[in-house]
Amino acid sequence: MRTKLLPVFILLLATRVSFAQTDSRVMIDTINQPAIYMEVNMTEGTVKDALDYYFDSMHIAKEKGKGFLIKKGLPYVLFKRAKVDYMQEYLDFYFVVDSKKQKGTDAATIYIAAATGYNTFITPDSKQWSGLKKFADFLRTNAFEKYNVLQSINDLTKQLDKQRKKLADILKQKLETENSIISDSTRMVGLQDMLIKLQNRN
């Protein structure tokens, strides 16, 4: 039985690994260009934020459209003249990120294309392609995860700050209440003494 299940398990594992990243094509400025395709369990917005964070660490800002594209927005995310992990030269990197509808966790689809210049995209036959695949895998397994951890740390830090402030307010209120109790207790003793004296006059 185990012998029969082993080939099925290997097939499923191979399918899962190959599905993590595949060679594909993506539309860039009306032309289908070679690209790496992959999916991640992140929202579209989080993926774009993670890309911004990664390239911002190299002081590279994403390109903005010109003319009417400024208002409409580019159909892809573009970072120009960047030397990324696992790549030996400066390239222009194009990312097409979309949400993937599915039940359960959020997911996004990502196409990654790279060019040495305008409309000069690297292909699966080029020597840079293996580096692009390694870079794509690095994003999926490292850079995106790192961004998620940093965001979790930031969110937790904000939550802790709120809790500390709340605790400080509680302690302040506690101190004020204690002082009020002491003051009222002292006043109570004084009033009781006054009452006793008044009663003793009779």
Q: What is the pLDDT along the chain (202 residues), one digit of tens a residue?
A: 444 444 444 343 333 333 478 888 998 988 899 999 999 999 999 999 999 999 999 999 888 766 444 445 678 999 999 999 998 899 999 999 999 888 778 889 999 999 998 889 999 999 999 999 999 999 999 999 999 999 999 999 999 999 999 999 999 999 999 999 999 999 999 999 888 988 888 6
Residue 77 main-chain phi, psi, to 5 deg: -100, 125
In a domain, 129, yes or no: yes
Burial classification of residue 26, based on how many CB atoms lie within 10 Å of its CB (0-12 exposed, 13-18 middle, 19 or more buried): buried
As given in the structure block, the two tokens for residue 99 are 């949400």
The Cα 178–Cα 16 span in angstroms is 63
Consecutive H or E run containing 200: helix 144-201
Helix (H, G, I), strand (E, B) or coil at 59: coil
In a domain, 92, yes or no: yes
The Cα 171–Cα 177 span in angstroms is 10
Q: How many domains does the chain have?
A: 1
- The answer to pTM > 0.85 is no
In a domain, 106, yes or no: yes
In a domain, 202, yes or no: no
In a domain, 180, yes or no: no
- Cα–Cα separations (whole angstroms), residue 151 to 85, 117, 154, 158, 160: 22, 34, 5, 11, 14
In a domain, 178, yes or no: no
In a domain, 127, yes or no: yes
Region of 29 on the Ramachandran plot (φ > 0 left; ψ -120 to 50 alpha; else beta): left
Range of the domain at 46: 2-155
As given in the structure block, the two tokens for residue 96 are 């097409």
In a domain, 182, yes or no: no
